[in-house]
Amino acid sequence: MSVAICLFTADLRVHDNPVVRAAVGAADQVVPLFVIDDGVRDAGFVVPNRAAFLADCLADLDGALRGRGGRLVVRRGDVVEEVARVAEETGAGEVHLARDVSAFAQRREARLGHMLDRSRRRLCVHDSVTFVVPPGALTPASRGHFGVFTPYYRKWSEVPVREPLGAPDTVPVPAVRSERLPSGADLADGDPSPALPRGGEEEGRRRAAAWLDGPVTRYADRHDDLAGDATSRLSPYLHFGCLSAVELVRRATAVGGPGAEAFVRQLAWRDFNRQLLADRPETAHEDYRPRNDRWRTDEALVAAWRRGRTGYPLVDAAMRQMAEQGWMHNRGRLITASFLTKTLYVDWRVGARHFLDLLVDGDVANNQLNWQWVAGTGASTRPDQVMDPLVQARRFDGRGDYVRRWVPELAGIEGGAVHRPWLLPPEVRRRLDYPDPVIGLAEGRERFHRARAGRTEPH
């Protein structure tokens, strides 16, 4: 009996999963393996929100495999050592794995390759599992990645997207030891946010079907409406690979129209960030365009930002949405990140870390590079743009409904006045348990521009 290992990482699904299909096609039996990896925990990536979501994903994947005559095999430890052990125990001749881009994933792939080489086993790495267009498939003549989105997107749109693969009918699994499925609490200490979405492929597919069945057609017009909540909310399912980006692009393209087109364009941003991180893995921590900022350190200001107590209702609403749901609207992410890195002039890494501590879709490529994009150290073509939360409020939450939803102290204030509580009559103002602005917007903007003017221009 030949045996292959299918090592799940960020591809926790059975539909359109080239790793699963290849492993099933390559051997008589397959070990569908997930390793609770000490390395990921030690790197600080296992936080309560993502742990709870991951536990759902693993339970769901186990159910899908059981429905096909198999089950999920769970181990805990160093991923490479555990794969070596399982290969020894089962006599597996090859290991199938999805390509991924972070420095950690690249090291994991290299270490697995060496270990398997030594024992004369084969590592089969599959592209196009977590991306639509894999990193390296599109490169400008002069360098290893595209540094600007628009030309990348032009090329990306021309690449034919492969047919999605069905789920395998059966997954025969050999006798091999498995730990029990972990709960979220087994994976991380601390309580998850109260209103987290449920994880797993089944839930992801249900949400994707509902999204593509109607709301996607209104995405182009409504995606920035904060209170309207008119985006797909599929990001955590994409992050854990419960959904295939390839399948989403194919299905959205079949829907057609400006909404579906705009949605597919956002999926291209995912690939854009991934091709950049694959080529420059150090940008998870270092400026993409080094600027040598002398960032301010002011713990009290950062604490106010984290807690959603800056005195700017739109910034505070978005921060509180993230605390409650482990998710924040993209417009909110832009506004809160600009406020921290430009108005307060605090290092983007401080904000990125806080987001990674809470976001259920928290993702090295998308989080770190979007933070850099907003901070002006990344791939943005307008690095010095400072977002004014009051202008943003007028454009994207004109009636103030988003703020009233997330900042209960201000729930009684009607209309757009909710965005400027400092203008309320003093007797109303005094009754509110809501802080005065921690900084003047003009003061913050001027300091940022002064600081930038004193530095060498980014190259």
Give the residue with the Cβ less far from ligand FAD, 68 or 306: 306
Q: How far is the CB of 280 from ligand FAD (least distance, A)?
A: 16
b (16+ CB within 10 A) / e for 104-115: bbeebbebbbeb
Site string (18-47) toward ligand FAD, x via CB under 6 A: ------------------------------
C-alpha to C-alpha distance for 82 and 28, rounded to whole angstroms: 21
> Interaction with ligand FAD in 293-352: which residues (CB under 6 A)?
330, 333-334, 337
Q: How far is the CB of 283 from ligand FAD (least distance, A)?
A: 14
Element (H, E) at 431: helix 426-431
Helix (H/G/I), strand (E/B), else coil: 126:
strand
C-alpha to C-alpha distance for 61 and 56, rounded to whole angstroms: 9
Give the residue with the Cβ less far from ligand FAD, 68 or 207: 207
Of the candidate residues 239, 309, 320, 342, the single one contacting ligand FAD (CB under 6 A)? 239
Q: How far is the CB of 228 from ligand FAD (least distance, A)?
A: 12
Which residue, among 126, 146, 39, has the nearest Cα to 83 in the 3D structure? 39
Give the residue with the Cβ less far from ligand FAD, 366 or 392: 366
Of the candidate residues 57, 116, 188, 238, the single one contacting ligand FAD (CB under 6 A)? 238
Name the strands in the sheet holding 94-98, side by side, starting at the edge strand that comes first in the sequence.
73-77, 29-37, 3-7, 94-98, 122-126
Which residue, among 45, 237, 273, 281, has the nearest Cα to 152 in the 3D structure? 273
C-alpha to C-alpha distance for 132 and 160, rounded to whole angstroms: 10
Helix (H/G/I), strand (E/B), else coil: 269:
helix
Any contact of residue 193 with ligand FAD (CB under 6 A)?
Answer: no
Give the residue with the Cβ less far from ligand FAD, 11 or 82: 11
> Interaction with ligand FAD in 74-103: which residues (CB under 6 A)?
none
Q: How far is the CB of 384 from ligand FAD (least distance, A)?
A: 17
Site string (360-379) toward ligand FAD, x via CB under 6 A: -xxx--xx--xx--x-----
Pair 327, 235: CB distance under 8 Å: yes
Q: How far is the CB of 95 from ligand FAD (least distance, A)?
A: 27
Q: How far is the CB of 127 from ligand FAD (least distance, A)?
A: 18
> Interaction with ligand FAD in 243-272: which residues (CB under 6 A)?
263, 266-267, 269-270
Residue 172 amino acid letter: P
Stretch that binds ligand FAD, among 15-23, 233-241, 423-431, 444-452 (CB under 6 A): 233-241
Length of the chain: 459
Of the candidate residues 102, 232, 244, 392, the single one contacting ligand FAD (CB under 6 A)? 232
Pair 157, 261: CB distance under 8 Å: no
Q: How far is the CB of 451 from ligand FAD (least distance, A)?
A: 20
Q: How far is the CB of 332 from ligand FAD (least distance, A)?
A: 8
Of the candidate residues 17, 29, 49, 273, the single one contacting ligand FAD (CB under 6 A)? 273
The count of chain residues that interact with ligand FAD, using the rule CB under 6 A, is: 28
C-alpha to C-alpha distance for 89 and 221, rounded to whole angstroms: 55
Which residue, among 246, 217, 21, has the nearest Cα to 129 in the 3D structure? 246
Query: Which residues, including other chains, have CB under 8 Å from residue 260's CB and lie 6 or more apart?
Result: 212, 216, 217, 219, 252, 253
C-alpha to C-alpha distance for 207 and 234, rounded to whole angstroms: 7
Greatest CA separation for the chain? 80
Any contact of residue 231 with ligand FAD (CB under 6 A)?
Answer: yes
Binding site for ligand FAD (CB under 6 A): 223, 231-235, 238-239, 263, 266-267, 269-270, 273, 330, 333-334, 337, 355, 359, 361-363, 366-367, 370-371, 374
